Structure 1
Amino acid sequence: MEARRSAPCVEKKYGSELVEGMIIDDYFFPVNEVHLSAKAFSLMTNLGLLKINNVQLLEGLEYLSNKLRLLDWHRYPLKSLPSNLQLDKIVEFKMCYSRIEELWKGIKHLNMLKVMKLSHSENLIKTPDFTEAPNLEELYLEGCTKLRKVHPSLLLHNKLIFVESLKILILSGCLKLRKFPHVVGSMECLQELLLDGTDIKELPLSIEHLFGLVQLTLNDCKNLSSLPVAISSFQCLRNLKLSGCSKLKKFPQIVTTMEDLSELNLDGTSITEVPSSIELLPGLELLNLNDCKNFARVPSSINGLKSLKTLNLSGCCKLENVPDTLGQVESLEELDISETAVRRPPSSVFLMKNLRTLSFSGCNGPPSSASWHLHLPFNLMGKSSCLVALMLPSLSGLRSLTKLDLSDCGLGEGAIPSDIGNLHSLNELYLSKNNFVTLPASINSLLNLKELEMEDCKRLQFLPQLPPNIIFVKVNGCSSLVTLLGALKLCKSNGIVIECIDSLKLLRNNGWAILMLREYLEAVSDPLKDFSTVIPGSKIPKWFMYQNEGSSITVTRPSYLYNMNKIVGYAICCVFHVPRHSTRIKKRRHSYELQCCMDGSDRGFFITFGGKFSHSGSDHLWLLFLSPRECYDRRWIFESNHFKLSFNDAREKYDMAGSGTGLKVKRCGFHPVYMHEVEELDQTTKQWTHFTSYNLYESDHDFLDQIWK
């Protein structure tokens, strides 16, 4: 070995024949600093193990030891191997990411070879001769994008006969491979066959000889148009993946019970239905039909899938109904019917006691039948008479449900069943893009609810009292929202985030941020974490003791140092602005991330919101309250004579999604919150608990302005 890194026994002639193993990993050396000499290898006649990663061969390579048992050369830099190479003792041969075009010519005795890995060798044109490789168990050719031909010794005119011991065959990413060979004789050892992304159009009927297959993947085979019935006779098959096979229009009938098949992925195919014989898959746990645009029927025999846990029908836009027998699949835990034409799901679905996740997101569009609208109450219809909203029966039977997504379902006022409060296991509730004015009051009974999302609910005017353990609330883009008063009255959670971005009617009353903070502090007597809210606003409340123009504020010799025992926490805020209709947002999906940090601490606070909001170009106020415990955990030290708080565009700071997102902090503030300020809340809020969103208009501005001040 030459150049800057070398071993004495390699540099000198004597002793080299004693070397039996050599490992060189560029992890320990700078890139391209290790260079190997061809002469050095010619002296290592007893080398049995060679493991090399990304090194240079300036003089080519003329010899490698005939005693090699392991050859692992990652990123081999040459086009071929030495012509005199003997590999009769080789057990594992690995040359992933190499530049090799052809390994060798002719036949080599590979009697002991068990593993060959040539993955991502993008220049490899054809495979070596496998005539004398009877014990080969694993062959990896994934990502060999120029591979057009497999040597006739493996195929023997497209017939696999010489490698009966083969366990794993990976040809994924061989983009130019158009035909899979016929199989002759028993190949019961082959367990994994991966053909993802190849150019094959069909599998041969002789694939029935691969009856030991456990995994068969054909993801993204864009030209695959049919499957042989023989696939349904694989008794050992556990995973069958056909995702993205866009020309596949039919799934074959299942002719015999396949008890071991647990995953069937048909997402992105062109199939119109699955056969009624699917009931012969009693062990199936996952059935994925996502984005099957032509899929229109779920067979009633689906109740035969006694082990099914996940059923994904999302994006099956022609699917109008699901059978009532689906409710008999007691094992089902996840059901996704989003973006389908289903408007009246069977009541049996809402009685599934083990269901944990249920999504109807986007089930709101043109009716599948012109007469549907004649049977619907007016309050269940969307803004247009040509849209049909989702119809929901009682929800009480979903006793195990932890996540419910009813976003964009056209739900009007009163369309959400009042018994939603009986979903005592619910953690996440998504109701964005609906048409209701308020939520059922029973929502405050959802004791385990942590996240509530109601973005772009244009008719939402006010919030009911939220459940006590809520953590995240998003009402961004709710343009009719005029009040938040009372929403946190029952709050007991130590830490809550409320986002009201682009809910511009809240601008009428500038005091909402402070009212919400005080309401939170009254409800949570001893907060241990933080409170955060973002609402429309362009001014720092006068209540803040320290204020400054710009994106940072420095506090020197704070007066509260002499009253630390009376402080319950610290309030921090900033006013930020996003330019109207950012061109970056128009071009691609985008999100903003605003960070608050303190000098001397590497742990900051963030808010993140989608680029679809703040298109109006208005200013917003971010108010953050930190408990002393949270400050201690993050090493934010306010008990000092000097500290600095800063706000910045986190994506620009860390060069995420490019710089110059346009997010600008205009001004900021800091305020130590004293115990007596929290106690004053009781009298203030009691005067307002009887008000609703309907009487919070111009006549009330003076009162709120006094609170603001």
Structure 2
Amino acid sequence: MASSSFSAHVFRYDVFVSFRGEDTRNSFTSHLLKALDGKKVVTYTDYKLENGDEIAPALWKAIEESRISVIIFSENYASSPWCLDELVHILECKERYQQFVIPIFYRVNPAHVRQQRESYAAAFSKHEERFKDRMDKVLKWKGALTIAANLSGFDSHAISNESELVERIVKAILMNLDRQSSSDLTGLVGVESRIQKIESLICISPQDVQVLTVGIWGMGGIGKTTLAGAVFNRLSSHFEASCFLANVREESEKCGMKHLRNELLRELLKEDSLSIGTPSIGSTFVNKRLSLAKVLVVLDDVNVLNQLEYLVGDQVQFGPGSRIIITTRDMQLLKDMQVLRKGVDHDVKIYEVQKLNCNEALQLFHLHASQEISLGEDSTMFLRAVVDYAAGIPLALQIWGSLFRRCKSKQERESLLNKLKIFPDKKLLNVYRISYDALDENEREIFLNIACFHKEEVIDDAKRQLDACGLFADSGIKILIDMSLISIKHEYGRNCLWMHDVIQEMGWAIVHEQCPEEPGKRSRLWNLEDVYHVLARNTGTEKVQSISVNLSKVKELNLRSPDFKKMYNLRFLKFYRRYHVNQCNVSLNLKSLPSALRYLCWPAYPLKSLPSKFSSENLVELSMPNSQLQRLWNGGQNPRNLKRIDLRYSKQLVEVPDLSKSVNIEGIDLRGCIRLVEVPSYFEFLHKLASLNLSHCSNLRFLSDMPHNMKFLNLDNTAVEELPSSIFSLEKLVELNLECCEGIKNLPNSTWKLNSLTSLYLCGTSIEGLPLSIECLSGVVSFQLKFCKRLVSLPTSICKLKSLERLSLEGCSSFKHFPEILEPMQRLEDLSLSLTDIKELPSSIENLVGLKRLRLYECKSLESVPNSIYNLNLAIFALDGCCRLKTLPPSSVILWSSIRGLDLHGCLALEEIPDCIYSLTSIWRLDLSESMIKSISPTIKQASGLRFLYVSNCKCLQSLPELPYLLKVLDASGCTKLKTVSRSMTALTQGLEEILDRHEQHLFYDCVTLDENARSNIVDDAYLRIMRTATANYHASLLKKCQSEGSEFSDEKSPSVAVVCPGDELPKWLSYQTEGCSIKVKLPLTWCHDANFLGLALCAVVTTHNPCWLDYGFNFVFKTINGESHQFNHCARTYERARTGWGGNISDHLFVWYDSLEEVWSTDFNNAIEASFEFFAQNKRHVGGVRSAVGYCCVKGVESACCLLTTAQMLKLAEVRFQLPLMK
């Protein structure tokens, strides 16, 4: 992969060998060096004895000038500071120069190296003593060993024969050197990683006799030919013969396929005069020679299958191990070849070329643009605009870089960029026009529609609209994807159509070319100015087929009296606002609409009806949500092609439109049409109707019989009191929603006929029970009975619902008894009995064998749960607000191996829970707040998975034991009797990999009875947590720098720590201290680039009244070397649970924060030389929150402190103050 540095790096040596002389100098290392020398590999080996602590500059330079570093880890390698310094520098060169590193584990276990165990542990015990004043150096060594041991290498335990081990190492070195030198990638960016992926598909192996084809597929300009050429240059030496046929599409049109085939044969058989004029290779001798040759063939820019059949089809037999590389824009061509080769000893693989990422795109643009643009301080926004616009297409970046090179000023560059967005460069458009010209008529129409109307639209919506216009969307979209003209983008859980901006602009240009002067003579209108021009001036013609305009940028579009008469071929008309569907304001006096219309979308339609002269015969889809319609149309309409109608929230609509002739109607959406009273009787005869939504038609009382094809029926919040019996005979019905139909009092026994039903919503109805036939609904997955306040019980036959996954009785306030579960229910995962009147659960609850989530919150009558509850494999068990629950049943064995959350918040009578619950290793969140517990079992230390512990407002709690070392959040606020808090003495690097990207909080607001020892423990623990989080972040930074790909570390916000407790003394280890709310500190010039800089610790002592309604934090102001000031806010993250039920005492509280400031590193003010920090308090009760530093009504006084943290400082303090066993 291209280096981020643009200067060439000179390599003098092929290999640098790092080894411990006393272990391997005269044995393994000498054998390896002799073998490398025999292969003419230039090695650098330092034969000097390792004396002293510092490596000579010449050795550092030798490492930097070597292409490959080989590290021989032996028993005593770690005992040498010299070797460890070599190792650190090798890894730095790996990052800086993409140097290849090969670790060899010679008679040592890789795990011992990685984790510093056995002889490596003994070595570091001595190092820690010897370098106790330079612990940052020791930390670097340990990090380097961990990183190096994770790299791919060789283990002598796996290859016990030493000569074979040497042979394999030499072979790996030669392959890598060959890879580095066989292809010149100068000027190419991002190519190396892509080449490696193609090589992995090509899979060259002496044992492989199969002929393999690899298709390189992607849109025009993405670099297919470049990649194929680089792979060809790199691999051609591995084959007996090779040929690169460039521009197959273009050359076949110019010279014919016979010419191309003859060129291929001449190159492969090394016979300049060879010429075959027949369609097939008639010569058996030629075929025989080809079948014996292992060849590499590249066919560049293939566009039809016939070309492949002619050049490398069945008639052409290549020798075993041959490889064929094809570049194409057409995925289907490669798929067809896969089908043709199926069952033959010839495999076909496909590689999709990925676009350049942001950094790669910037590098490529830098190479082609002027140095002024690359280095200018005002260029950041411009460069981002160019890169975003290019969207990772190399050809666009190369062409634009050359164009921008001519620009002399910022104004010229911005002007050119704006021009390109309107008038794209013709060279670029011509590349993509090739793909468009190869399309059939259906695909061309779909392509232009997507370019003009449907980019970034949900694919199902776009398909529906395209189909409505008489196009074949499914097959057309598939072909466009295969041709790399469009793609599918996954956004917010939806699949959307996506098209590169340049390709979209090509589509616009094709439409624009139809008539550059007059928009009314083009097939498609989408630009607001063009649409206004045509409709306001009535310049439309029969050429206009589609109009779609986004009105988001105008408050109102005043069209007066647009005349659509001349646009009699208009099939598609769509007005819309992207995010405000009910604010599509168009003011007009509409006299007519074309009868050719097939798709009409007009949200917030302003008139009372459609024009009287409009004929709906061709209409396929009508969408007019939030309209002012009173009646859609008058009688006499024949909408026989209509499939969907959407009039939702048309609150003036007084009757359902006459759809009696709409025999093809599939979906009707009338939700929120509050003036509708009844559904017409003819609905029963709309035999294709599958979806009817009448939700929130609050005056709808009468419902007709429904057609037998109905699948989705929504009557949510209607006034319907009785359902037609036919509804319970709808064998295809999948979802029935009767939520908040208060008039529904019962269900008939005929429900057994609903054998396709999967979702049944009866929430808020007046039903008192369920019919026995409910047991026949074997396909129901979700059964919702929330807030059925008259429901008393469920039949025991509920256990017959074998597909049931979710059952909710939440808010059924009359529900007293949960039925006995007589048979195991395997699929029920979620059961909510919250806000019911149950007093107990049956012991047969254990038959809910698949149950994962059981919710019983605010069950105020619940007094106990059965012992059998422990036999369930629960993940979530919520009992919050069960104020009569005194305890959980005792048990020595609990089978909750997967429990993640146990919520006992507000269980006011709860005094204790079984000790074994505290020690569950799977529990992640435990909430005991506002209970009467007096103590927490010391076994909680064993709960290794616990991350959140809430004990706030536990007024009887007197002590906290030592807690799990990876606990993320502890809220003990308001525990007014809490006296003792145990210290959590944690090793510095314990659990580092689990601490990354964490935000830790330990809150002790208003714990006024804490003794001095407890407060000291909390402050010490705060320091340890800061140190551990900072160290974890340091390790993460090392790994990110040294690992080339595949990092598992998150890119979320940087880690932080916040601790609050009563106290009035600032910790002594904070070096900057002051009275007042602000601190100013000088920053070292290189603070942001210093690998040893760990972040910032901040502290404040605040005298405050009722702190629970305040958020606290600091305003950061950074002053740069240029005199600029930049500000951002850092607010301590707090949890709402910690905000209620406290007293209003005036007391001193100590606030401690840590932040790594990584967000600052990546900004424009990382060259700051001075920083100031001002403490603030923010009232969360006020909308918007008023911030104040000093003088805030609740804040009486502030003392502040801060400290810039480094590895040496933290490690030394940890050892001196806490006597910590570092890095064990």
Please tell me the TM-score bracket, short chain as reference.
Answer: 0.7 to 0.9
Q: Structure 2 vs 1, CA of residues 359 and 652 (structure 1 numbering), >3 Å: closer, same or farther? A: closer
| Contact 2:786–2:808 (CA under 8 A) maintained in structure 1 | yes
> In 2, distance between residues paired with 1:79 and 1:142?
18
The match for 2:1202 among 670, 679, 683 is: 670
2:1171 counterpart of 1:643: yes
2:524 counterpart of 1:26: no
| Contact 1:395–1:417 (CA under 8 A) maintained in structure 2 | no
| Contact 1:203–1:227 (CA under 8 A) maintained in structure 2 | no
Post-superposition shift, 1:128?
1.1
2:663 counterpart of 1:134: yes
Identify which range, 117-126 or 610-619, moves more after superposition.
610-619
> In 1, distance between residues paired with 2:708 and 2:536?
49
Question: SS of the residue aligned with 1:272?
Answer: coil
Aligned to 1:554: 1080
Question: SS of the residue aligned with 1:429?
Answer: strand
2:637 counterpart of 1:108: yes
> In 1, distance between residues paired with 2:593 and 2:1076?
67
Q: Structure 2 vs 1, CA of residues 596 and 192 (structure 1 numbering), >3 Å: closer, same or farther? A: farther
Post-superposition shift, 1:276?
1.6
| Contact 1:10–1:16 (CA under 8 A) maintained in structure 2 | no
Aligned to 1:516: 1021
Post-superposition shift, 1:269?
0.8
The match for 1:497 among 993, 1001, 1010 is: 1001
Post-superposition shift, 1:296?
1.3
> In 2, distance between residues paired with 1:302 and 1:477?
45
2:571 counterpart of 1:48: yes
| Contact 1:550–1:666 (CA under 8 A) maintained in structure 2 | yes
> In 1, distance between residues paired with 2:961 and 2:945?
17
| Contact 1:592–1:609 (CA under 8 A) maintained in structure 2 | no
| Contact 2:806–2:830 (CA under 8 A) maintained in structure 1 | yes
Aligned to 2:1099: 573
> In 2, distance between residues paired with 1:635 and 1:14?
52
Q: Structure 2 vs 1, CA of residues 302 and 238 (structure 1 numbering), >3 Å: closer, same or farther? A: farther
Post-superposition shift, 1:567?
6.4
> In 1, distance between residues paired with 2:948 and 2:609?
58
Question: SS of the residue aligned with 2:1010?
Answer: helix
| Contact 1:648–1:665 (CA under 8 A) maintained in structure 2 | no
Post-superposition shift, 1:131?
1.7
| Contact 2:1116–2:1173 (CA under 8 A) maintained in structure 1 | yes
Post-superposition shift, 1:209?
3.0
Post-superposition shift, 1:540?
4.4
The match for 1:431 among 918, 928, 931 is: 928
2:768 counterpart of 1:249: yes
Match runs of 1:343-422 below 5 Å: 343-352=863-872, 354-365=873-884, 388-394=886-892, 396-410=894-908, 415-422=912-919
Q: Structure 2 vs 1, CA of residues 77 and 540 (structure 1 numbering), >3 Å: closer, same or farther? A: farther
What letter corresponds to residue 41 of structure 1 in structure 2? F
> In 2, distance between residues paired with 1:193 and 1:563?
62
| Contact 1:465–1:489 (CA under 8 A) maintained in structure 2 | no
Question: SS of the residue aligned with 1:41?
Answer: coil
What letter corresponds to residue 201 of structure 1 in structure 2? E
> In 2, distance between residues paired with 1:612 and 1:255?
44
| Contact 2:563–2:592 (CA under 8 A) maintained in structure 1 | no
Q: Structure 2 vs 1, CA of residues 635 and 4 (structure 1 numbering), >3 Å: closer, same or farther? A: closer
Q: Structure 2 vs 1, CA of residues 165 and 639 (structure 1 numbering), >3 Å: closer, same or farther? A: closer
Identify which range, 610-619 or 43-52, moves more after superposition.
610-619
The match for 2:857 among 338, 342, 360 is: 338
Post-superposition shift, 1:19?
1.4
2:828 counterpart of 1:308: yes
Aligned to 2:613: 84
> In 2, distance between residues paired with 1:256 and 1:561?
70
Post-superposition shift, 1:282?
0.6
What letter corresponds to residue 547 of structure 2 in structure 1? M
> In 1, distance between residues paired with 2:1029 and 2:622?
64
> In 2, distance between residues paired with 1:3 and 1:558?
55
What letter corresponds to residue 736 of structure 2 in structure 1? L
| Contact 2:1111–2:1131 (CA under 8 A) maintained in structure 1 | no
> In 1, distance between residues paired with 2:687 and 2:1185?
51
Q: Structure 2 vs 1, CA of residues 553 and 143 (structure 1 numbering), >3 Å: closer, same or farther? A: farther
> In 2, distance between residues paired with 1:450 and 1:3?
54
Post-superposition shift, 1:124?
1.5
Identify which range, 202-211 or 538-547, moves more after superposition.
538-547
Match runs of 1:474-485 below 5 Å: 474-485=971-982
Question: SS of the residue aligned with 2:1132?
Answer: strand
The match for 1:230 among 732, 741, 750 is: 750
2:164 counterpart of 1:164: no
Aligned to 1:292: 812
| Contact 2:793–2:816 (CA under 8 A) maintained in structure 1 | yes
Aligned to 2:375: none
> In 2, distance between residues paired with 1:531 and 1:67?
65
> In 2, distance between residues paired with 1:420 and 1:346?
15
> In 2, distance between residues paired with 1:651 and 1:516?
28
Q: Structure 2 vs 1, CA of residues 169 and 15 (structure 1 numbering), >3 Å: closer, same or farther? A: closer
Post-superposition shift, 1:670?
1.3
What letter corresponds to residue 569 of structure 2 in structure 1? N
Post-superposition shift, 1:30?
2.3
What TM-score do you get using the length of structure 1 for normalisation? 0.81
| Contact 1:22–1:50 (CA under 8 A) maintained in structure 2 | yes
RMSD: 3.6
Post-superposition shift, 1:504?
2.2
Post-superposition shift, 1:329?
2.2
Q: Structure 2 vs 1, CA of residues 359 and 77 (structure 1 numbering), >3 Å: closer, same or farther? A: same
| Contact 1:596–1:605 (CA under 8 A) maintained in structure 2 | yes
> In 2, distance between residues paired with 1:501 and 1:399?
33
| Contact 1:238–1:262 (CA under 8 A) maintained in structure 2 | yes
Give CA-to-partner distance per residue, 1:424-465, whole Å, 9 cap, x none: 211111111222222111111111111111111111122111
> In 2, distance between residues paired with 1:56 and 1:561?
55
Greater helix share, structure number: 2
Aligned to 1:192: 712
* Structure 1, gaps ≥5 residues long: 366-386, 583-590, 688-709
What TM-score do you get using the length of structure 2 for normalisation? 0.49
What letter corresponds to residue 627 of structure 2 in structure 1? S
Give CA-to-partner distance per residue, 1:489-520, whole Å, 9 cap, x none: 47746352101122222386765653232343
Post-superposition shift, 1:685?
5.8
Aligned to 1:258: 777
2:947 counterpart of 1:450: yes
Q: How many residues align?
A: 642
| Contact 1:202–1:226 (CA under 8 A) maintained in structure 2 | no
What's the % identity of the aligned pairs?
Answer: 25
Post-superposition shift, 1:555?
2.2
Aligned to 1:697: none
Post-superposition shift, 1:333?
1.1
What letter corresponds to residue 221 of structure 1 in structure 2? C
Post-superposition shift, 1:15?
4.6
What letter corresponds to residue 505 of structure 1 in structure 2? T
Q: Structure 2 vs 1, CA of residues 519 and 602 (structure 1 numbering), >3 Å: closer, same or farther? A: closer
Q: Relative contact order: is structure 1 or structure 2 higher (C-alpha 8 Å, sep ≥ 6)?
A: 1
| Contact 2:1085–2:1167 (CA under 8 A) maintained in structure 1 | no
> In 2, distance between residues paired with 1:657 and 1:122?
38
What letter corresponds to residue 1009 of structure 2 in structure 1? K
Give CA-to-partner distance per residue, 1:43-77, whole Å, 9 cap, x none: 32221111012555544211111111111101111
User: Which of these two proteins has the greater Rg computed from alpha carbons?
Assistant: 2
Aligned to 1:706: none
Question: SS of the residue aligned with 2:870?
Answer: helix
Aligned to 1:276: 796
Aligned to 2:139: none
The match for 2:627 among 98, 101, 105 is: 98
Aligned to 2:1056: 530
Post-superposition shift, 1:193?
0.5
Give CA-to-partner distance per residue, 1:277-303, whole Å, 9 cap, x none: 212211000011112111112221363
